[in-house]
């Protein structure tokens, strides 16, 4: 059974992901718990008991987190149940791909093309969003490269462990 501080942490993560990413609170709580639980892979029943939630609530949260690539289900040979664990790759920042912002910029250009010149307020907003999308399209790949170099240096110095 998790300690009170573990449940509190899971609740805090749940609120953060609900408020900033629109996740249902249970999905955020599940993500928070998977960050700290022992063992790191848990069955649906174990997660339900730990988070005091129904099997269906946990299953729904797992499905959502799977769709975002945050968790993965595994099954050991001979077992008849899945184990859910955090994916190490999920710790990479989300939405840091240039293609996403390239697509967004194209949508914003489409919006600008249909707006009359007289709608200056809307055009100004779209132009600013377009400039931001173009900025991120260029800078995010550079920033991610810088992050990966920094992470590699931290690992080389023994300040950051390798993920399994």
Tokens coding 3:
């300690």
24-41: pLDDT as tens digits:
999 999 999 999 999 999
**pTM score, whole prediction:** 0.79
Query: With 0-12 CB in 10 A as exposed, 13-18 as middle and 19+ as buried, what is 90?
Result: middle
Residue 132 reports pLDDT greater than 80:
yes
The pLDDT assigned to 105 comes to 95
The pLDDT assigned to 61 comes to 98
Cβ neighbours of residue 54 under 8 Å, at least 6 residues apart? Answer: 48
Q: Which residue has the tokens 């810088």?
A: 146
The pLDDT assigned to 52 comes to 95
Query: With 0-12 CB in 10 A as exposed, 13-18 as middle and 19+ as buried, what is 35?
Result: middle
Question: How sure is the predictor about 150, in pLDDT bands with cuts at 50, 70 and 90?
Answer: very high
């Amino acid at each position: 059974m998790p300690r009170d501080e573990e449940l509190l942490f899971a609740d805090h993560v749940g609120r953060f992901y609900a408020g900033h990413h629109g996740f249902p609170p249970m999905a955020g709580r599940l993500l928070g718990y998977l960050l700290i639980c022992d063992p790191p892979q848990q069955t649906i029943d174990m997660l339900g008991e730990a988070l005091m939630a129904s099997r269906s609530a946990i299953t729904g949260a797992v499905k959502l987190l799977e769709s975002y690539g945050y968790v993965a289900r595994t099954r050991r040979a001979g077992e008849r149940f899945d184990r859910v664990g955090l994916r190490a790759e999920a710790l990479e920042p989300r939405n840091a791909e240039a293609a996403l912002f390239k697509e967004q910029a194209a949508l914003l250009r489409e919006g600008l093309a249909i707006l009359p010149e007289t709608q200056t307020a809307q055009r100004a907003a779209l132009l600013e969003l377009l400039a931001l999308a173009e900025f991120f399209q260029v800078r995010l790949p550079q920033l991610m490269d810088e992050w990966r170099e920094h992470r590699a240096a931290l690992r080389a110095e023994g300040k950051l462990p390798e993920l399994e």
